[in-house]
Amino acid sequence: GAGVSQSPSNKVTEKGKDVELRCDPISGHTALYWYRQSLGQGLEFLIYFQGNSAPDKSGLPSDRFSAERTGGSVSTLTIQRTQQEDSAVYLCASSLAQRGETQYFGPGTRLLVL
């Protein structure tokens, strides 16, 4: 079966523009996660969705970041008024549930803010 897919694979934008990053999780996975990986840094948790529960947004770095998950499947991470420090690889993962299950990662979206 297909794994987690993300689009676009690369995105170059100008400072101040808004960007949308998309994640298609594995079919049937109820949990979906977003992480950020900056050059030389570890993965930084941003947000996760579990079924119909309210998302855990505790990792979002500022109110410029938001995410939604429609129909319990596809998710979009939106960054408004991008800044150069937002440049990073944004990784999405999904799992069958959230109780310590394996997380399956997508290939990531490489965002460069000029």
Partner 1 sequence: SQKIEQNSEALNIQEGKTATLTCNYTNYSPAYLQWYRQDPGRGPVFLLLIRENEKEKRKERLKVTFDTTLKQSLFHITASQPADSATYLCALGGDGGTSYGKLTFGQGTILTVHP
Binding site for partner 1 (CB under 8 A): 4, 31, 33, 35, 41-45, 48, 50, 56, 58-59, 91, 93, 95, 97-100, 102-108
Helix (H, G, I), strand (E, B) or coil at 86: helix
19's CB contacts (< 8 A; 6+ apart) are 11, 13, 78, 79, 82, 111
**Quick check: 44 and 38 in contact, CB under 8 A?**
yes
Nearer of residues 20 and 101 to partner 1, judged by Cβ: 101
Q: Closest distance between partner 1 and the C-beta of residue 75, in Å? A: 14
Among residues 76 and 107, whose Cβ is nearest to partner 1? Answer: 107
Please identify, using beta-carbon distances, which residue of 72 and 105 lies nearer to partner 1.
105
Contact 20, 76 (CB under 8 A): yes
